Every structure is written in C-alpha cells, then in structure tokens.
Amino acid sequence: MKIVVYGLGIIGASLAAALKKAGHLVLGKNRSRAPVAYALEHGMIDGEADGFEGADVVFLALPPRVAIAALEERFPQGCIVADICGVKQPLEEAAFSKPRAYRYVGTHPMAGKETSGIRSASETLFCGANLVLTRAPETDEGALCVLRALAADAGFGRIIECTAAEHDRMIALTSQLAHVVANAYVTSPLTERCVGFTGGSFQDMTRVAPVDEYVWAELYCMNRTALLNEIDRISARLKDFRTALAASDEEALKALQREGKACFAAFFQKN
C-alpha cells in the first residue's frame, strides 16, 4: 500500500517508520525540508512525496488549523485521508462540509512524549497504544477497515470508535486537563528549590508540563467548551478540599479521598 505521511514531527515520523517497517511503501512530506532529510537518512521513509499522486492513504500529521487547510488539497479519487489531530469536531466539520473525491476518517493516536520533533520519533512509539477512530454518518466503512488494518501494522493495541463530539469531550479530561494541571502545578515558587524533595508523585504530576505551548494552546482553544467544563469541575473539587482543610475537618477530607479512590478503582476494574 502506498502511504504518504504529511508532517514529520514525532507522531508523523513515528507512524511513517512503523508502517514502513510493516512493509508498506511510505513517502514523507513536510513544510520544511530538514525533517524529510532526517527521515530519509534514518530509514523512516522510502522517499519524499512531491504531492499525493497514487497514494492509497494520506495521513495529515499537522497542527489542526494547518490540517483543515490541507483538506482542500487535491487528493486522488477514493484516497483515504486521515488527520491525526488532538481535536476532531473542527476537522470532521471541515472535511464533510462539501462532497470530496477522497474518503475522510478522523484518527487520534493516544501516544507521545513530553518532547517533540522528529528526533524524538520512534517506530515503536505506538506499540500497545490506544487509537481513536471517529465515525460519522458520512464515514466510509471501507476506509475504516483499512485504517484498522494499518493500526495493527503500526503496533496499536486497543482501537476505540466514537463520534467526534465524544472524542473531544473525553480528550478534554484525559489529555488536555492533565496538561493544564501539570503546567499550573509547576508554577509554585517552591519548585525551583525542590531538588532532593521529589519522588514519583512529583514526576508523574510534572512530566507533561513542558510540552509545546503553540501546539497545545491551539488544541485548548479548538476544544474550548469541553475543556472549560473540566477545568470548572476540578476547580470545584479543589474548593471542596480547601473548605474541608480550612475547617480542619478530617472526616470531610477522608470522605473526599474515598470518593476519588472509588473512582480510581472503578476505572482499573474496567481496564
């Protein structure tokens, strides 16, 4: 299968390398030339794509607004075009806003690192990872089948299908809120003096704090309503803890922690 990956950052280059390893013909395309040269030098792609001619599948590994613009490119008739952005509703609305020669599917690989760029890419990045595929009434079933097969080739473990709206609600909690909280957490003036005082809890809380602010600010704003709901929810929960602590109410603090513990246990029983 001939695959073009447009955008050779950490996610795009990792996907290209994994699919090339699986035996597909993979070409890379990027807005700047250096990542293409790096991908060729390190065997992540088979060649550079000048356009999309003859492509069976094109992955748009681009920031959301750039990906939306790229949906207007001339893709081959019947080609599958899949964006891998961290928000789905704006992309889906743009793709299905008019008849297309290509078949669009929204995807979101649930994997990454706190670093970015092609030098952080790895052909094993998606091994065992989750992949979300979004489905709409306009979604082509054959295209979904192809993407499920490619996901298996790339090493993904669990594949979830849902609507774009459900994806964006869930990702506000599981990804975006986590990044907001981590970034806010490290702004304490005590952070600069915490060497020697840290353990696993600190590492877990801060790992994603230094991610690319340009990428994430765009994602936050494009999923504003869902993320605001989650920020409001956690703010109210923190206020409950503060109220109990201000009153030295140990029973209330225990009750709050028991509720969180029960939610944590319920999640892991299902997974």
Q: What is the CATH number of the domain that holds 106?
A: 3.40.50.720
In terms of domains, do 228 and 247 share one?
yes
Of 142, 162, 182, the residue that ends a domain is 162
The CA-CA-CA angle for residues 1, 152, 220, to 5°, reads 100
CA atoms within a 13 Å half-sphere pointing along the CA-CB vector of 28: 33
The span from the CA of 228 to the CA of 208, in Å, is 19
Q: What integer pLDDT is reported at residue 268 of this predicted model?
A: 84
Q: Quick check: 215 and 222 in contact, CB under 8 A?
A: no
Of 162, 182, 204, the residue that ends a domain is 162
Mean pLDDT of 108-119: 88
In terms of domains, do 157 and 253 share one?
no
Burial group, residue 27, by CB count within 10 angstroms (0-12, 13-18, 19+): buried
In terms of domains, do 181 and 194 share one?
yes
For the chain, the average pLDDT equals 96
Q: What integer pLDDT is reported at residue 114 of this predicted model?
A: 76
The CA-CA-CA angle for residues 156, 67, 22, to 5°, reads 30
Mean pLDDT of 186-190: 95
Of 129, 162, 195, the residue that ends a domain is 162
Using the structure block, give the residue that is written with the tokens 């790339």: 154
Over residues 230-245, the pLDDT tens digits come to 999 999 999 999 999 9
In terms of domains, do 155 and 205 share one?
no
In terms of domains, do 187 and 220 share one?
yes
In terms of domains, do 20 and 137 share one?
yes
The span from the CA of 53 to the CA of 15, in Å, is 20
Domain tally, the chain? 2
Using alpha carbons only, how large is the chain's radius of gyration in Å?
21
Domain that holds residue 178: 167-270
Least confident of 6-20, 112-126, 255-269: 112-126
Mean pLDDT of 164-190: 97
**Distances from the Cα of 251 to the Cα of 236, 241, 248, angstroms:** 19, 11, 9
